[in-house]
Each structure stands twice: as structure tokens, then as C-alpha cells.
């Protein structure tokens, strides 16, 4: 009983002290008086104002661990659970900006182990057509080791790339190559498929050699727009780090270009042996047809890599082996007559009747290509409205045949003069046998948003006869999406 009185007295004392303190402080006691709400039978939550709670805490000398306003703040509604962040695979789209900004390679040539249709022996003729193993797939052309969604256009000009020689008539012709391409990623960016559709303005695939006593259409200069061989390239991401990427895949060239045909109509005199005494001439009245089918499918496994040691310097490269899956048939048919004779003194030598029907297979050589590119960003500003980046590029390209050439060779006829036999043969294939081509590329690239514009000049470091052209110019417009 006594303890209750003491508790009641203490509460009354606290109340008096509180009221006295408020009066002395000038705070009115009335409507703002302390209002207590006790718990009822339903356990309602006790409520009071922050002001009254602070006064009571001060009177009782209580020091709460947190401010009263924080204690009396109504509980916050529960937060919605966060969605788990999507797991990004190590795809090209998720690559660091540095690797993603590395430009495409310019490339050099699709040639290597080019075949010719040749007359060999005392009467020589060479016709080198781009379709005859000179338009093979080069994976590095307008390409990047990185997998990405893009479309592009490429224009290449090869100066004096096609060499023709028919008897004493020689000519070198240019090639203008136009390529439309597209690459699309799938499987979350781990794989991509690229297709290239080329067209060119080059030596006509349907040629006629007309030599008459007073007229001729030589040297060969018959140019025409030609549809090229379509290429399909599968690429897969093999390994990726922040500043390094490795990919690989397989390229396939589909023989969609026209076959090569050469029709000859010869009705004239020709010098056969110049170094003999007397010289030997021949009057030829003959026609012939040469047909080389474009049936070879090429398979090209490759590796590609990209390295960017810092924000300015970059390096990328391709290593490719190009294998012919099957040969292409070739044939020569013709007939006529040849009369050989001398002029000093004028005398007939022999009559050679012609009945030619030869056929065989053209085998393309296996090629190895190594393409190395180096570059440096002179300017980079991703936030610029117009020009976002500008870089210079230097590339070195090496192409080599890995096997000897298989030349389709047939004897057509023979001249007999002064006890010696002089043959005239047909040869279809790479007359140089093994070739090694080294080209140097110098170029620049400008990036404008998602568009990339490349300009490059390619200079052969070889001399004739392995020199594939005098120079090459390349313009690329790439558009990422």
C-alpha cells in the first residue's frame, strides 16, 4: 500500500514540475495539455505526440537511443522485391567499350594460286580470268573478330589485276569489286552468321578471240558486269576478357559466278619460230572452244583475335586455311588446219590437221592466309554529335600456296622443222606453281555514331609475276545496329 502511494506521489510531482516548467517557459496549458490514451482490451497501440514524449523523457531524465520522431514515424510500406539482374553472357554486345570500338579490317586480295588458260610451247597465250581461282574467299575482308549485328558495303579497285597475252597482243585490265554484306548474331551473341554477295566489273566471262587476215579484236579488252561467288561465314566466340577476344569459325564459298568460256576463230598467218634460219611461219584456219566450269566449293576454317592494351592502341588478326572441296571440269574442243612454211626461200613445210577433244579437272591449291592489323586512335569523343572517333591503320597480309599446282595439260599439235619437234600444249592451272604474296595496307577509319567509314590503299610488296596488281583502293561503309 505504501509503495503505491510513493508511485502516485512521484507521478504527481512529475506532473506538477512539468506544468510549472511550461508556465515559466510561456507555454499555455489548455488545449495543448497532455493527452494519454491507454491500451484497451484489444491491445490498441498507445499513441501520444512527439512533443509530449520529449517533455516526459526530459522530466524522467530518459535518453532514447534514437530521436522520438523516428520512433513515432509510421512503418514504411514493404518494398517490392528487386528483380534479379539479367545474366549477361560473354557476348560481343556485352564487350567493353574499348573492344567494341575496334574498327573492321580493310584486307587485301581474294587472289592466290590464280589459274590461267594457256597455250604453251612455241605459240604462247595466257588468259587470266578472275573467276579462275582469283576470287577466293578472304575472311579478313571488311571483317572483325568481334561478333556483331551489322550491314556493310565495300568497294575495291584493283589496278592492272588481270593479265592477258595472246601471241604478241598483251593487255592488263582492272577489276572493280562491289560487295554487299550482313552479319547477324544469335544464341545470345555467342555466334553469328555473315553473308557476302559480290558483283564486279571485270573481264567478260564469255570471251571471243577473233583473228582475221586484216582485223582482230586483240588485245583482249572485253569488260562486263559479273555476278560473283557468294560467301557464308559462321563465327563463334571462343574466349573474351576485358581487353582481349578470341573467335573462330568456318567460311564457305558457293560457286555462283558464271563459267568461263573462250571461243577462238583463227584465220591468219603467225610467226612460229623466230630464232631459226630460216624462220618458220604458219597459216592457221581453225576454231576452238574452251570451257572451265565454276563448280568448286571452298571451305575456310579460321581463327581471329583482337587485343587492345590501352584506350588508344589496338591490334586484330586473322589466320585462315582455304581448301577446295572439289575440282572444276575443263574442256577444249576444236578443229581446223595448219600449214607451216618458210619465206626465205618460200617453201611449204607440212600440213597439220586439227581435231581436238580434250577434257580434265581443274584443282585449286590449298591456301594459307595471315592478316595482321595495327591501329591507333588519334581522336575519341563518344558524346560528339558528328565525328566520334578517328584512327589510323596499318595492315600486313601474307598469302601462300601450301601445295604444288595440279595443272591440266594436254598436247594439241606439234611442229616438225629441221629434224626438231616443237609442241603446242594446253595448260589450265597456276603456271607459277607455288606463290607467296605479301601486301601492305595503309588506311584510316572515321566513326560517326554507329556508322564506320574506312579508306585504305593496298601496296604489293612483290614483283611480277607474283605481284597480284599494281595497287588497290578500298572504301567501306559499315553500319552497326
**133-153 per-position pLDDT tens digit:** 788 999 999 999 999 999 999
Q: Could you tell me the CA-to-CA distances from 28 to 14, 18, 388, 434 in Å, in that order?
A: 18, 12, 71, 111
Does the pLDDT at position 69 exceed 70? no
The most confident of the ranges 55-64, 317-326, 340-349 is: 317-326
CB neighbourhood size of 190 (10 A): 17
> Where do you find CATH 2.40.160.40 in the chain?
92-480
Q: CA-CA distance, 279 to 311, in Å (whole number)?
A: 71
Question: By percentage, how much of the chain surpasses pLDDT 90?
Answer: 61
In this prediction, residue 249 carries a pLDDT of 98
**With contact defined as beta carbons under 8 Å apart, do 135 and 300 qualify?**
no
Q: Could you tell me the CA-to-CA distances from 387 to 202, 321, 392, 460 in Å, in that order?
A: 36, 37, 15, 32
In this prediction, residue 177 carries a pLDDT of 96
**What is the helix (H) or strand (E) element at residue 193, kind and residue range?**
strand 191-203
In this prediction, residue 2 carries a pLDDT of 45
The most confident of the ranges 55-59, 162-166, 278-282 is: 278-282
Average pLDDT over residues 95-106: 78
In this prediction, residue 96 carries a pLDDT of 37
Does the pLDDT at position 68 exceed 70? no
Q: CA-CA distance, 175 to 200, in Å (whole number)?
A: 7
In this prediction, residue 218 carries a pLDDT of 86
Q: CA-CA distance, 318 to 373, in Å (whole number)?
A: 9
Does the pLDDT at position 411 exceed 80? yes
**With contact defined as beta carbons under 8 Å apart, do 99 and 306 qualify?**
yes
In this prediction, residue 67 carries a pLDDT of 58
Q: CA-CA distance, 414 to 273, in Å (whole number)?
A: 13
Does the pLDDT at position 330 exceed 80? yes
Choose between 161 and 63: higher pLDDT.
Answer: 161
User: Out of 35-44, 97-106, 117-126, 374-383, which region has the weakest mean confidence (pLDDT)?
Assistant: 35-44
DSSP symbol at 274: S
In this prediction, residue 37 carries a pLDDT of 40
Phi-psi region at 145: left, alpha or beta (left = phi > 0; alpha = psi -120 to 50): alpha
In this prediction, residue 121 carries a pLDDT of 85
- Mean pLDDT computed over every residue of the chain: 85
The pTM is what? Answer: 0.77
Does the pLDDT at position 71 exceed 60? no
Average pLDDT over residues 10-21: 55
Does the pLDDT at position 56 exceed 70? no
In this prediction, residue 74 carries a pLDDT of 63
Average pLDDT over residues 87-112: 69
Phi and psi, residue 382, nearest 5°: -60, -20
Place of cell 597439220: 352
What cell does 305 get?
A: 583475335
DSSP symbol at 92: G
Straight-line distance from the first to the last Cα atom of the chain, in angstroms, rounded to the nearest whole number: 88
In this prediction, residue 32 carries a pLDDT of 45
Confidence of residue 94 (pLDDT cuts 50, 70, 90): very low
Cβ within 8 Å of residue 218, ≥6 positions away? 166, 167, 169, 209, 211
Cβ within 8 Å of residue 33, ≥6 positions away? none
Does the pLDDT at position 338 exceed 90? yes
- Class of domain 92-480 (CATH, top level): mainly beta
In this prediction, residue 461 carries a pLDDT of 93
Average pLDDT over residues 376-393: 92
Does the pLDDT at position 49 exceed 60? no
Cis peptide upstream of residue 377 (ω within 30 degrees of 0): no
User: Out of 226-235, 313-322, 343-352, which region has the weakest mean confidence (pLDDT)?
Assistant: 343-352
Confidence of residue 15 (pLDDT cuts 50, 70, 90): low
Choose between 83 and 211: higher pLDDT.
Answer: 211
User: Out of 72-86, 162-176, 413-427, which region has the weakest mean confidence (pLDDT)?
Assistant: 72-86
In this prediction, residue 63 carries a pLDDT of 52
Amino acid at each position: 500500500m505504501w509503495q503505491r502511494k510513493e508511485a502516485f506521489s512521484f507521478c504527481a510531482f512529475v506532473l506538477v514540475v512539468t506544468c510549472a516548467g511550461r508556465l515559466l517557459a510561456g507555454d499555455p496549458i489548455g488545449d495543448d495539455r497532455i493527452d494519454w490514451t491507454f491500451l484497451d482490451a484489444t491491445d490498441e497501440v498507445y499513441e501520444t505526440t512527439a512533443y509530449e514524449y520529449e517533455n516526459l523523457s526530459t522530466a524522467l531524465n530518459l535518453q532514447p537511443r534514437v530521436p522520438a520522431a523516428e520512433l513515432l514515424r509510421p512503418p514504411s510500406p514493404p518494398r517490392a522485391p528487386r528483380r534479379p539482374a539479367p545474366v549477361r553472357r560473354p557476348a560481343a554486345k556485352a564487350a567493353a567499350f574499348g573492344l567494341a570500338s575496334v574498327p573492321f579490317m580493310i584486307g587485301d586480295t581474294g587472289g592466290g594460286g590464280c589459274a590461267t588458260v594457256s597455250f604453251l610451247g612455241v605459240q604462247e597465250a595466257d588468259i587470266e580470268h578472275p573467276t579462275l581461282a582469283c576470287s577466293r574467299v578472304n575472311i579478313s575482308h571488311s571483317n572483325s573478330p568481334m561478333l556483331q549485328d551489322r550491314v556493310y558495303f565495300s568497294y575495291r579497285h584493283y589496278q592492272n589485276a588481270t593479265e592477258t597475252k595472246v601471241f604478241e597482243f598483251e593487255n592488263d585490265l582492272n577489276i572493280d569489286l562491289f560487295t554487299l554484306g550482313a552479319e547477324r548474331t544469335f544464341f545470345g551473341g555467342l555466334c553469328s552468321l555473315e553473308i557476302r554477295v559480290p558483283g564486279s566489273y571485270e573481264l567478260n566471262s564469255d570471251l571471243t578471240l577473233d583473228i582475221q587476215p586484216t582485223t582482230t579484236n586483240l588485245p583482249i579488252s572485253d569488260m562486263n558486269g559479273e555476278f560473283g561467288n557468294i560467301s557464308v561465314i559462321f563465327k563463334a566466340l571462343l574466349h573474351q576478357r576485358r581487353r582481349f577476344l578470341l573467335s573462330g569459325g568456318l567460311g564457305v564459298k558457293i560457286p555462283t559466278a558464271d563459267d568461263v568460256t573462250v571461243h577462238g576463230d583463227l584465220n591468219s598467218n603467225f610467226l612460229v619460230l623466230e630464232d631459226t634460219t630460216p624462220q618458220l611461219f604458219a597459216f592457221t584456219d581453225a576454231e576452238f572452244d574452251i570451257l572451265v566450269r565454276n563448280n568448286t566449293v571452298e571451305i575456310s576454317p579460321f581463327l581471329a583475335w583482337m587485343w587492345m592494351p590501352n584506350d588508344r592502341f589496338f591490334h586484330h588478326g586473322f589466320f585462315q586455311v582455304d581448301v577446295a572441296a572439289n575440282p572444276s571440269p575443263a574442256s577444249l574442243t576444236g578443229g581446223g588446219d595448219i600449214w607451216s612454211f618458210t619465206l626465205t626461200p618460200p617453201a611449204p613445210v607440212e600440213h597439220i590437221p586439227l581435231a581436238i577433244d580434250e577434257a580434265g579437272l581443274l584443282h585449286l591449291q590449298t591456301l594459307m592466309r595471315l592478316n595482321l592489323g595495327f591501329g591507333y586512335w588519334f581522336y575519341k569523343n563518344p558524346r560528339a554529335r558528328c565525328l566520334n572517333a578517328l584512327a589510323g591503320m596499318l595492315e600486313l597480309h601474307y598469302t601462300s600456296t601450301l601445295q604444288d599446282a595440279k595443272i591440266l595439260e594436254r598436247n594439241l599439235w606439234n611442229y616438225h622443222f629441221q629434224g626438231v619437234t616443237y609442241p603446242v600444249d594446253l595448260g589450265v592451272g597456276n603456271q607459277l606453281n607455288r606463290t607467296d604474296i605479301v601486301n601492305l595496307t595503309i588506311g584510316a577509319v572515321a566513326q560517326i555514331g554507329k556508322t564506320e567509314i574506312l579508306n585504305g590503299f593496298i601496296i604489293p610488296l612483290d614483283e611480277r609475276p607474283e605481284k597480284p596488281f599494281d595497287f588497290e583502293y578500298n572504301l567501306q561503309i559499315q553500319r552497326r545496329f
